[in-house]
Amino acid sequence: MRPFCYLLVAAFLLPLAVVSAADFPPVSELPINPELPDPLVMLDGSKVTTKEQWEQKRRPELKALFQHYMYGYLPAATGVKATLTASNNDLFDGKASWKSVTLHYGPDGTPPIELLLVVPRTQKGVPPVFVGINFCGNHTVLADPLVPLTTSWYRGSCPGCEGDVATEKGRGGQVDVWNAEMIIDRGFALATFYYGDVDPDKNTNDFTDGVQPHFFKDGQTEPGKHDWGAVAAWAYGVHRVIDFLDADQSVDTKRLALVGHSRLGKATLFAGALDERIKVVIPHQAGCGGTAPNRFNVGESVERINTSFPHWFNDTFPEFNQQVERLPFDQHCLVTLCAPRAVLFSNAEEDQWADPNGQFNMLKAADPVYRFLGVDGLRPDAKPEMGKLIDSRLGYYIRPGKHSMTTEDWKVFLNFADRHLK
């Protein structure tokens, strides 16, 4: 199908804290704290005692702290222009339709996002939607030959990969990972995009071939210490996709769930923490740098992740490699930024690298903020029992098996979303 009809989409202005780098001390001057920081205590040591203090002071401070010391600062939201590139109204024997939309955003030359939107046709009303970042391209999510192959840098471990190029051999290769028909049958839409469209995952930190250089300031030729890494860039891509969905109106963005696996789970939690339009946040097996604690070295450590994946975070985060106790937050604080919205940590028994027990402890440590805000958090008697979904507002699930996203996981995601969206 030939592209047609550019649509100007108003950007959602993220309520990011306006805090300059000068407001925070260098890493070497941060106090040592071997315990988990209290999310309700400000950086200056003062205690948050009212909801107004949380909303007006502590939440903005935490957003800025995470960006300053770990993920990097996101640029301001930009407008989005959308072009329909392909579509099919007869998917799954007529139960669904899909369209592929190219999203242009940012300064001229910024790499576009190719969004695949699958919508049920056999139900009344506008459906809720799962947004997800995929590892291998939209053409692997559905087997339909009309879905465009990704033309971005390609992940070598994906089906049908030849070097760094996607091929027809991979079409439909992740149908069982994304389970689009199951999602449709449960009354949800699915919006997904390939993470390589936003920032190639090449294990280098030169940031020359993703979105970052297109947002450099005048005269800037390389990222600064607090500029955004790949995890933040993928999260920024999520925000721009939601901008489009808000304007497109074929799905109900007031009932929106976000899901991502592994490193994309890290991006999912960060995106959810900064964007209140995301009502259910599901970072699946996200581990270190996402849902697992930084302070307690079970599985992957801060030093290991910064060494193996230097492009994921900003250039300040490695300063904590040998002194994680100086971090003025831990990952439970990122969960509190989602409050009072629902968050599910899902895990696998054999994936100890992602520290499933530590992740449960992050939920426990976030629970007091949910209750401070007047809502339930983690169910008081909750224990990480194998194969049983804890579906409280702070949810937890662990199953037998390995590091993967499966059909069984999607049954859990859908049940959790039903509980908190419908």
Q: Which residues form the catalytic set?
A: 262, 403
Cβ atoms within 10 A of the Cβ of 318, count?
Answer: 17
DSSP string over 108-151: TTPPPEEEEEEEESSSSSPPEEEEEEESS-GGGT---TTSPPP-
DSSP 8-class letter at 37: P
DSSP string over 298-345: SSS-HHHHHHH-TTSS-SSGGGGTT-GGG-S--HHHHHHTTTTSEEEE
Per the DSSP assignment, residues forming a β-bridge with 58 are none
Is there a contact between 195 and 264 (Cβ–Cβ < 8 Å)?
yes
- 403 by DSSP, 3-state: which? coil
Per the DSSP assignment, residues forming a β-bridge with 192 are 116, 132
The H or E element containing residue 284 is: strand 280-284
> Please, is 194 exposed, middle or buried when counting C-beta atoms within 10 Å of its C-beta (0-12, 13-18, 19+)?
buried
DSSP 8-class letter at 102: E
Sheet containing strand 280-284, strands side by side: 4-9, 80-91, 96-105, 113-120, 189-194, 128-134, 252-261, 280-284, 342-348, 394-399
Residue 119 tokens, joined: 């919508």
The dihedral sign for the CA sequence 135, 136, 138, 140: negative
